[in-house]
Amino acid sequence: MKPIHPQYESCTILCTGCNTAYETRSTNVKGYHVEICSACHPFFTGKQRLLDTAGRVERFNRKYRKGGEAAATPAPAENA
């Protein structure tokens, strides 16, 4: 039989954002360079912030405020 599978050897993953190196195994012996990893990503570090792009949040609030105000006002009580 011929060996058809590539060699599975150790390689290094280097994060360019925080210069952290991870050792793993892969068929790519040269290694990988990633821009951001779980150690420096804002979602995983808890430093995530919401960005209001082009007023989308304000536009959403204006659009649905009209329906929300009408539903939020209580109906007058009927005396029977």
pTM recorded for the entire structure: 0.47
Kind and range of the H or E run holding 68: helix 56-72
- What is the layout of strands, in order, in the sheet containing 9-15? 21-26, 9-15, 32-34
Average pLDDT on 56-71 reads 73
Kind and range of the H or E run holding 50: none
Alpha-carbon 76 to chain mean position: 46
> Could you report the per-residue pLDDT of 10-32, keeping only the tens digit for each?
999 899 888 889 899 998 888 88
Please report, as a single letter, which amino acid is at residue 2: K
**Exposed, middle or buried, 49 (CB in 10 Å: 0-12/13-18/19+)?**
exposed
DSSP state of 49: -
Q: Where are the beta strands (DSSP E) in 1-80?
A: 9-15, 21-26, 32-34
pLDDT at 79: 64
